[in-house]
Structure 1
Amino acid sequence: MDDFLTRLPGAVVDDAGLQHLGNPLGEQRALSVGRSVAVLGDRRVLAVTGEDRLSWLDSLTSQALTRLAPGVSTELLVLDPQGRVEHTASVLDDGETTWLIVDAGDAAGLLTWLTRMRFRLRVVPRDAGDEFTVVGGTSAAIEAFVGNSGDHTARVVWHDPWPQISTGGYGYAAVEPHPGSDRDWSELLVPRATLEQMVDAATRDGLGMAGLIAVDALRVAAWRPRWSTEVDERALPHEYDWLRTAVHLSKGCYRGQETVAKVHNLGHPPRRIVALQLDGSGSRLPVRGAAVRVGADDVGVITSAALHYEDGPIALAVVKRSTPTDADLVVDGEDGPIAAAQEVIVPPEAGATASVPRIPRLGRRTPAR
């Protein structure tokens, strides 16, 4: 964690990084329109060099990377032999190095696995997290952040492809418009040695700072899955609509590919992710892992919950495939049960392309002008 963040006015910081600066809802709004950026202390950077790096990563992961052009953003999954998600990474190659942005809790495990899989290939994976930190925001905000520093040298910027369907991918969510369709999110690699000076320059010129709570609320509202929250030991990419951006269905063989193809072709993932509009009358959000019920029956768990500046209290949950799409759900909260309206992301028949109607967002308000 970068210690200077604790000195920002109103800063609330923990081991993961800057959580907020006293106004998480205002920070969300500023982030969404490009008036602020966030230092992502809960991310870590890995680097892979060597002539074989792209074809090597292609052979190991769910994404087609052999012909990845410099500057093109994508993401990958590392699956186990049964097709379950073990690791995830945002990917960008600059022509010499392939950069992987990962959740901090996944970095050591992914690096260990990559190191074991080198064999005799010309690849060198390493942890670059002590050299670089990650700053997130809209494309315009990231450009302003770099420009305000006076340093106009080329930098590595990953642009989130979600929720567009990448080449070779497939989208299960059949709603229009997708709630992430206007998502504008980029992540910049910044040398740790210059981060404090860049933040100082940006804030002097009017670019604000936001915390991780604001970042996560925007992610949840866009139905964007994440390793540190949505993934468990049973996770299949289909269950999270992750085939959109992280899986190439027609690339060469890789570990877990047979399960990916089988589940996709049959259209029956055992679970499915849903978006929840939570009753806002309570004062607390449900915690990750809180039970989701239909009547007295447990049907799933909360993976992420947030208070959104427009939508109010929202959550993502993973439920059994058999859970009726029109069921009234209840979530276990610390202050008692919380009523939840369900919005289908992955249909029970995940290979189907039938239109799934979108329910109104009960907490949505017209933004102030």
Structure 2
Amino acid sequence: MLDLLGNDATAILHNLTTNEIKTLEPDGPGAESFITNVKGKCVGHALVYRTANGFRLIGASGQADAIATQMDKYTIREDAVPHIRDTEIASWLVVSDATAGLFENNDVDSASLLSRAELPMPSTATKQDNETANPPSLTAYRVPWAGLAVAGSPEAESPEAESPEAGSEEASTANSGWRGTLILADSSASLSTTDVAHAVADALQQPRGALEVIDDANAESRFHQLRIAAGYPWHGVDFGDTHLPQEVRPEEETISFTKGCYLGQETIARLDALGQVQKKLVKWSLEGLDGHTPEVDTKLFAGGEKPVGRLTSISDASPPSGSDSLFALGFARRSHFDIGAEASGTVGEHSFIAKVAGV
């Protein structure tokens, strides 16, 4: 979590990001973007939102220092100061198809738009030292980490349920958006998970206790189950500063080729002109595991000595009933970019099949 504040925040962030951020409106939807270095490699990856006095960047923990350093490096006399908020902001992830209703009043036509909304705290919220103080408000962000909400799909709540691919017919019938909603509040408010769950339920006019709020001992594991099933990569886990944006995420969601100059643009534009990258992060479906779980960095082969894939994240969720498969993220060589492409891997002496399930 990082805020870039100051009168020149727009100019500085524009110069360091792959997507168009100048057109973002305060309190409006955000944009997904990479923060790149001079070689076009991924220093960071974030959801970017304009605020009243700058921008807020939300993404994987552990990258804020590198992003702030990059901002400072390319700020000379401009008024733009990065502030790392990792310890100052409390967060909760709510997973439900119903959370799309939080954003119904927003002018959102696309299921993938990164909307946000302010939520009041319920009257039952934990009181602060000052009993007369107004309860704090919460900010709800629609995020792509838990996949799309699919109308009428009872499997939507399964951690292993496959989300429809962006742009597909199934995605076009999605129930008005992503089913994951990130809730942020100032840590000083000392809000409980119950407070947050009640606030979201009240805003949706749903029974309290009907929503899954991820904030417990299993939160990290559950979060990664969801984002792997959704096919969403995580900076510092699946990729880092040795990778190019086009190797990680669809360019139509993360890169603007009309925004103007930014750091690393020449490399990214040249790669676009040449056509395809030689490797790309994809979602793999691992089949025939027979109770064996591959380790991160497991290589995948397709009849030759050179690997055609490498696993970077593997879901630790129990497979769906009657299934012996897991989802994973990992890189694929160009020969295995298409959905359905097969490779094989081993866990000890046990072999399994890996099929590309999403790109």
Which of 253, 274, 285 is 1:266 aligned to? 274
Q: Distance in 2 between matches of 1:257 and 1:244?
A: 15
What does the per-residue CA deviation read over 1:9-34, in whole Å, with 9 as the maximum and x for residues that have no partner? xxxxxxxxxxxxxxxxxxxxxxxxxx
User: Shift in Å at residue 123 of structure 1?
Assistant: 1.0
Against the structure 1 CA distance between its residues 216 and 61, is the aligned structure 2 distance closer, same or farther, given a 3 Å change threshold? same
Matched, 1:303 2:260: no
- The one-letter amino acid paired with 1:265 is A
Against the structure 1 CA distance between its residues 264 and 200, is the aligned structure 2 distance closer, same or farther, given a 3 Å change threshold? same
How do residues 15-164 of structure 1 correspond to structure 2 at under 5 angstroms?
45-71=1-27, 72-138=29-95, 147-148=121-122, 150=125, 153-160=136-143
Q: Which runs of 5+ in 2 are unaligned?
A: 103-117, 126-133, 149-164, 199-207
Task: Give the match for residue 322 of structure 1.
Answer: 335
Matched, 1:331 2:345: yes
Matched, 1:282 2:290: yes
SS at match of 1:230: coil
Q: Distance in 2 between matches of 1:89 and 1:338?
A: 34
Q: Distance in 2 between matches of 1:82 and 1:134?
A: 33
- The one-letter amino acid paired with 1:77 is F
**RMSD across aligned positions (CA):** 3.3
Task: Give the match for residue 198 of structure 1.
Answer: 192
- The one-letter amino acid paired with 2:81 is V
Counterpart contact for 1:179–1:221, Cα < 8 Å: no
Q: Distance in 2 between matches of 1:241 and 1:81?
A: 19
User: Shift in Å at residue 324 of structure 1?
Assistant: 7.4
Counterpart contact for 2:279–2:334, Cα < 8 Å: yes
User: Shift in Å at residue 138 of structure 1?
Assistant: 4.4
What does the per-residue CA deviation read over 1:182-231, in whole Å, with 9 as the maximum and x for residues that have no partner? 53222222222234x33243568425443222222222222222213221
Q: Distance in 2 between matches of 1:78 and 1:265?
A: 21
Q: Distance in 1 between matches of 2:297 and 2:52?
A: 41
Against the structure 1 CA distance between its residues 179 and 123, is the aligned structure 2 distance closer, same or farther, given a 3 Å change threshold? same
What does the per-residue CA deviation read over 1:28-57, in whole Å, with 9 as the maximum and x for residues that have no partner? xxxxxxxxxxxxxxxxx2111111112220
Q: Distance in 2 between matches of 1:186 and 1:55?
A: 29
Task: Give the match for residue 183 of structure 1.
Answer: 178
- The one-letter amino acid paired with 1:302 is L
SS at match of 1:120: coil
Question: Identity of counterpart residues, as a percentage?
Answer: 22
Q: TM-score, normalised by structure 2?
A: 0.70
SS at match of 2:281: strand
Counterpart contact for 1:73–1:158, Cα < 8 Å: no
SS at match of 1:340: strand
Aligned residues: 293
Counterpart contact for 1:132–1:190, Cα < 8 Å: yes
Task: Give the match for residue 340 of structure 1.
Answer: 354
SS at match of 2:63: helix
Against the structure 1 CA distance between its residues 113 and 194, is the aligned structure 2 distance closer, same or farther, given a 3 Å change threshold? same
- The one-letter amino acid paired with 1:317 is G
Q: Distance in 2 between matches of 1:295 and 1:74?
A: 41
Against the structure 1 CA distance between its residues 344 and 96, is the aligned structure 2 distance closer, same or farther, given a 3 Å change threshold? closer
Query: Which segment is superposed worse, 120-129 or 294-303?
Result: 294-303
SS at match of 1:339: strand
Against the structure 1 CA distance between its residues 203 and 280, is the aligned structure 2 distance closer, same or farther, given a 3 Å change threshold? farther
What does the per-residue CA deviation read over 1:335-359, in whole Å, with 9 as the maximum and x for residues that have no partner? 63321222352xxxxxxxxxxxxxx
User: Shift in Å at residue 173 of structure 1?
Assistant: 6.9
Task: Give the match for residue 225 of structure 1.
Answer: 233
Q: Distance in 2 between matches of 1:241 and 1:131?
A: 29
